[in-house]
Chains A and B, each alone.
Chain A
C-alpha cells in the first residue's frame, strides 16, 4: 500500500537494498526494527576495526614504538573525524567515552565541583531516558539541590512556557534534555531550550543518543554546552561514545574517572590533571571503538540522497498504519517521526507482541524502554517500539503491521 510519502521523489529514488547489501548481518533473515536500541554495522566499519586489530594494535600516547605511534594516530584521527562531524571548535572538545550514559555521568558528577548547592535547580524533561534521569537525580539529592521536570503538553511536546517560568525563579543552574525521545520519536526544539536556559545563565547538556544517526549534528548551531551520544546507535561499535563540551567549560571541570592517561604529574600525596580531553579519558582508551566510530561517521556522510527521508517515511507509514488498527495506540503524534514509533496494543502485553513478531523474524523492542517516568505520564506500563534505519524497507513495515494483527488475533 503506497502512501503519499513513498511517492515523494527523493524516497522513490532511494534504494534501501543497496544499503542493506553493505551489512553482513543481513545474510541472516531478520527484519531488524530495533535500531534505536542498536544499529547494525556495515562492512566498512567492521573492516576498519579488523584492520586496526590485525595491523596496528598498541596502546596510545605512552608508546615510543612504531605500532604505538600508529595506534595514537588512528585514535586522534578518529577524534578529528568526530570533531568535524559535530562541528566542534577543536578535537580537544571531543571526549571519547564508553557511551552516552558515561558521558552524562561525567557531567553530572562535575556538578559537585561546579558550585551547585542547596536550593539550586537542575531541570530535565519528562521524556528522558533513565540514562539522562538518574545521574541528575543522584547528583541533586547528594548536593541538596532540586530536580525539576519539564512537563509534556497533551501531544507529548515539551512545555517551553513552563520551563521559562521555572527559569524566572532564578535558581536553575543546569538543564539536561533529550534531542529525540527514544519513545516518542520526534525532534525536540532543543535550540529554543538552549537559548532560554542561556538567557537565565544555566548550562545545557543535550542527550543526542537517538538523534546522532538521523539528524545533522552541529553543536555551534545548536548552541548547547555539552552533547553526548553513542557509537553503536549510529552504525559504529558498542563501547564507544562521545561527550562534547565547550572548551572553556571542560577546562574548569574536574575529572570523573581517575587513573592512567588522565594525569599531569603524580606525587605520593598529590596529583595534577591532564588537559582536556585526556583529563576525562582515564584508563586505556577504546582505540578500536574510536576507529569504528570514525568510520561509521564517514559511512553516514556518504549515504545516498534520500536515506534520512526514507527512514522517517518508514516510521510515519508504520505509525499511520498501526494507528488504523482497532485497539492500537500510537505514542506521540503519528506524523512527527524521525525514525521510530512506539505503540501499545489493547489486551496484549508488549512482550507478547514482540514475541509473536520475533516468531515472524521481526525484531522490535518491548518493555519500559528505559523511560519509566515517561511511560507513567503517558498512562502505559509498557510499549512496543519499531525503529528504522536506511536498510529497512516498506515490506518490513507491512510485515510489522501484519504481525501486530496476528498478535491481536492470537490473544483475542
Chain B
C-alpha cells in the first residue's frame, strides 16, 4: 500500500513545512528542478556573522515527499557551518533509499522504505540539490 509512504509525520511536515516562504525568482541562492515532473524549489540562505546558517527559506512547487524533505532540511541545517552542512548532506545521500536513517536522524526515518518507491527518491533529494548549489555559490567551488 502506498499509504505506507505517507506516514502521519510526513503528512504533518507536508502540511506545515518548516522554512516555507517566498523566494522570488532571481533572489535565490540555490535552485533545483525535477525535470520528470516539473517540480522546482528555490532556497535562500541567511548566514550569521559567525559563519553559521541562521535560516533557510524555501519556495517549493512539489509533492508531499519533496515538501516534507524541505521541511526536515530547514530544521536540520539551522545553526550549521558550510562544512557541517556538507557532512549532513553526505550523510543524507548515503542513507536515503540505501542504509536508511538511524534513530538519531529523528523524523528523517520517515524516508526509511522509500526504496520501494524509487520514483520518489528524486522528490526527497530536490531540496538537497538546491542546498548543494547554494553552498557551491557561497564557497565559489564545485557543488
Contact = CB atoms under 8 A, between A and B. Distances in A.
A382 B37 contact: yes
22 contacts: A349-B62, A349-B64, A350-B63, A351-B39, A351-B120, A351-B123, A352-B64, A352-B65, A355-B6, A356-B2, A356-B6, A359-B2, A360-B2, A367-B36, A367-B37, A375-B38, A381-B38, A382-B38, A382-B39, A410-B3, A411-B11, A411-B64
Given A411-B11, A411-B64, A350 B6 contact: no
B61 interface: yes
B5 interface: yes
A358 interface: yes
B37 A350 contact: yes
Interface of A: 349-352, 355-360, 366-368, 372, 375, 381-382, 410-411
Contact of A358 (B2, B38, B39): B2
Contacts of A356: 2-3, 6
A349 B38 CA distance: 12
Given A367-B37, A372-B38, A359 B1 contact: yes
A349 B2 CA distance: 15
Contacts of A349: 62-64
A372 B64 CA distance: 21
Contacts of A358: 2
B3 A368 contact: no
Contact of A381 (B61, B120, B123): B61
Interface string B41-70: 000000000000000000001111100000
Chief secondary structure at chain A's binding surface: helix
A278 to B, nearest CB: 35
Contact of A410 (B11, B39, B120): B11
**Quick one: which of B2, B36, B39, B120 has the most chain A CB within 10 A?**
B2
B71 to A, nearest CB: 14
Interface string B1-20: 11111100001001000000
Contacts of A375: 38
Pairs of residues from A and B, 6 with the lowest C-beta to C-beta distance, nearest first: A359-B2, A367-B37, A368-B38, A349-B63, A351-B63, A359-B1
B129 to A, nearest CB: 17
Interface string B93-120: 0000000000000000000000001001
A352 B63 contact: yes
Interface string B73-108: 000000000000000000000000000000000000
A359 B3 contact: yes
Given A367-B37, A381-B38, A351 B65 contact: yes
Nearest to B4: A359
